[in-house]
Amino acid sequence: MTVPLIESDVLQETLDHALRGGGDFAEVFVEDRRSSNGRFDDGRIEELVSGRDRGAGLRVVRGETTGFAHTADLSREGLLHAAEAAAGAARGVGGGTHTVALGAPSPHPIAAGVVLPETVEKRRKVELLARADAAARATGSAVTSVTASYADARRRILVANSDGLLADDDRVRTRLAVQCVATGDTGMQTGHEAPGRTMGFELFDNFAPEDVGRRAAQRALTLLDAVPAPSGRLPVVLKRGAGGVLFHEACGHGLEADHILKDASVFKGQMGTSVASPLVTLVDDGGYAQEWGTLAIDDEGHPAQRNVLIENGVLTDFMWDVVRARKAGRAPSGNGRRESYRHLPMPRMTNTFVLEGATDPADIIRNVDFGIYCVQLGGGQVDPATGDFVFGVTEAYLIEKGEVTRPIRAAQLIGNGPDVLRMVDAVGNDFETWTGMCGKQGQSVPVSSGQPTVLVREMTVGGTAA
């Protein structure tokens, strides 16, 4: 039986103490995180470290003011001291008494069959990296550099608040990433592959390190034969999974409730109106499969749930944390997330994706006379207030007369999130996800995004072809 992070009587006393100054809401977030990371660079192990981080964040809300304190001291005295600091930060005039009665605990233990990475010998983790490295190098003699990295984390959390909520979760995530550099007549080209899931060491039953290394190397080798990307307004086909990051960044952030309430989203005032093609249904689902953004409860203790944000082109909901939901007079949606106990939660995406359509992906490509077929997108910049974005393309091909032909390099996709949503002309019957880390206001959290193969009628492609 797992030992509780904090006993319920100490949590209750801490919450009572936090509310003595007349706060409207108080919360204790406790975290115990174990992690390990390894890096295999150019044929040798460069780094293999493990660590543990424990602490608690205390939040007190009074009217429009939030007080927050965090501590690494999980003793009764340490928690009470942090509660007093948070209450003092939130305190204004007046006072009052609020007695907290915590409900029955809502535990979410690790699922059966999870192989905890902390039980796996470091030697086996190094062997994974060596296997990925060897497979990548064997893919082609032009591969000149390989970096393989491994990461795992087990994050136990406990959340209690003055509404009586008491819940905990035990999350395990594992990831392998390989980056390759290939050198040829066109210079140096880079390929990347990085699968990750909310699971333990059994991840490698589904993702063999050799396959990950070969895919990264093949991407780099393919780019050696790439031609400069064209420029202009062109049809763009996003391969399944590839465009997930575009929908996440260009549309998803604008559907987070803090942007809406700050009037910093292009979707402000659009509830119930058509904001996308009728072919588009966009969902955020924190309980979906074992994806990178999957969780049993969010970082405010509320169950993960499936939230339909856009249904058949119509805006139907936003993503809510506790504070914004209370302000709007509605229930939170399971989207309150934070990087660690040192951070305040905010509305964040979990697993965000476009649902499958009915079209064969081959037919989508066949109907494009000249355009771009995007297989993998890189980093980019997005303004949630306007929806304007710029994304780098790390793997793409020309579509010529209905066929995928030559690889292209140095392409960018430039556009506007709502415009892209409206110009979706076909949605495939396939589906795949993308794994990544999402940054917002200095905090980074694991997320997945995804989509079937999608045709965007027209998008600005920035390339270097004459």
Q: How many CB atoms lie within 10 A of CB 356?
A: 16
d(CA 411, CA 391): 9
Q: Check residue 92 and give its pLDDT.
A: 53
List pLDDT tens digits, range 390-413: 999 999 999 999 999 999 998 999
Q: How many CB atoms lie within 10 A of CB 414?
A: 15
Per-residue pLDDT for 106 more than 80? no
213: region left, alpha or beta (phi > 0 left; psi from -120 to 50 alpha): alpha
d(CA 101, CA 121): 44
Strand segments, DSSP code E, in 249-313 are: 282-285, 306-311
Q: Check residue 298 and give its pLDDT.
A: 98
- Between 68 and 108, the more confident residue is 68
**Residue that has been written with the tokens 């070969």 in this structure:** 214
- Between 3 and 262, the more confident residue is 262
Q: Check residue 94 and give its pLDDT.
A: 42
Average pLDDT of span 303-313: 98
Q: Check residue 102 and give its pLDDT.
A: 64
Q: Check residue 96 and give its pLDDT.
A: 46
Contacts of 137 (CB under 8 A, 6+ apart): 143, 146, 217
Buried b (16+ CB within 10 A) or exposed e, 113-138: ebbebbebeeeebeebbbbbbebbbe
Q: Check residue 95 and give its pLDDT.
A: 42
One-letter-per-residue 3-state SS of 23-63: CCEEEEEEEEEEEEEEEEECCEEEEEEEEEEEEEEEEEEEC
Q: What are phi and psi of 135, to 5 degrees?
A: -65, -40
List pLDDT tens digits, range 410-454: 899 999 999 999 999 999 999 999 999 999 999 999 999 999 999
Radius of gyration of the chain (CA): 24
Q: Check residue 242 and give its pLDDT.
A: 84
Are the C-beta atoms of residues 270 and 259 closer than 8 Å to each other? no
Three-class SS state of 351 = strand
Q: Check residue 82 and give its pLDDT.
A: 93
Contacts of 111 (CB under 8 A, 6+ apart): none
Instruction: Tokens for 382, please give them.
Output: 């997005």
How far is C-alpha 102 from the geometric centre of its chain's CA atoms? 31
Are the C-beta atoms of residues 17 and 83 closer than 8 Å to each other? yes
Q: How confident is the model at residue 151 (pLDDT cuts 50, 70, 90)?
A: very high
d(CA 79, CA 84): 9
pTM: 0.94
Which residues pair with residue 369 across a beta bridge? none
Per-residue pLDDT for 100 more than 80? no
Are the C-beta atoms of residues 182 and 191 closer than 8 Å to each other? yes
Strand segments, DSSP code E, in 260-363 are: 282-285, 306-311, 314-315, 336-337, 346-347, 351-354
Q: Check residue 101 and give its pLDDT.
A: 63
* Length of the chain (residues): 466
What is the CA angle 346-257-439, rounded to 5? 45
- Between 31 and 102, the more confident residue is 31
Are the C-beta atoms of residues 127 and 20 closer than 8 Å to each other? no
- Between 88 and 367, the more confident residue is 367
Q: Check residue 43 and give its pLDDT.
A: 87
% of the chain with per-residue pLDDT over 90: 86
List pLDDT tens digits, range 5-60: 999 999 999 999 999 878 899 999 999 999 999 999 988 999 999 999 999 999 99
Q: Check residue 245 and give its pLDDT.
A: 87
Instruction: Tokens for 207, please give them.
Output: 């993702």
Q: How confident is the model at residue 466 (pLDDT cuts 50, 70, 90)?
A: low
% of the chain with per-residue pLDDT over 70: 97
Per-residue pLDDT for 464 more than 90? no
Which residues pair with residue 319 across a beta bridge? 256
| Domains delineated in the chain | 117-152+173-225 (3.30.2290.10), 232-462 (no CATH)
d(CA 152, CA 203): 11
Instruction: Tokens for 416, please give them.
Output: 């506007």
Q: How confident is the model at residue 93 (pLDDT cuts 50, 70, 90)?
A: very low
Three-class SS state of 323 = helix
List pLDDT tens digits, range 13-24: 999 999 987 889
Nearest partner of 150 among 47, 295, 32, judged by Cα: 47
Q: Check residue 382 and give its pLDDT.
A: 86
List pLDDT tens digits, range 188-203: 999 999 999 999 999 9
Alpha helices in 75-160 (DSSP H): 76-90, 122-138
First-to-last C-alpha distance (Å) of the chain? 66
How far is C-alpha 352 from the geometric centre of its chain's CA atoms? 8
DSSP string, 440-459: ETTEEEEEEEEE--EEEEEE
List pLDDT tens digits, range 207-232: 999 999 999 999 999 999 999 999 99
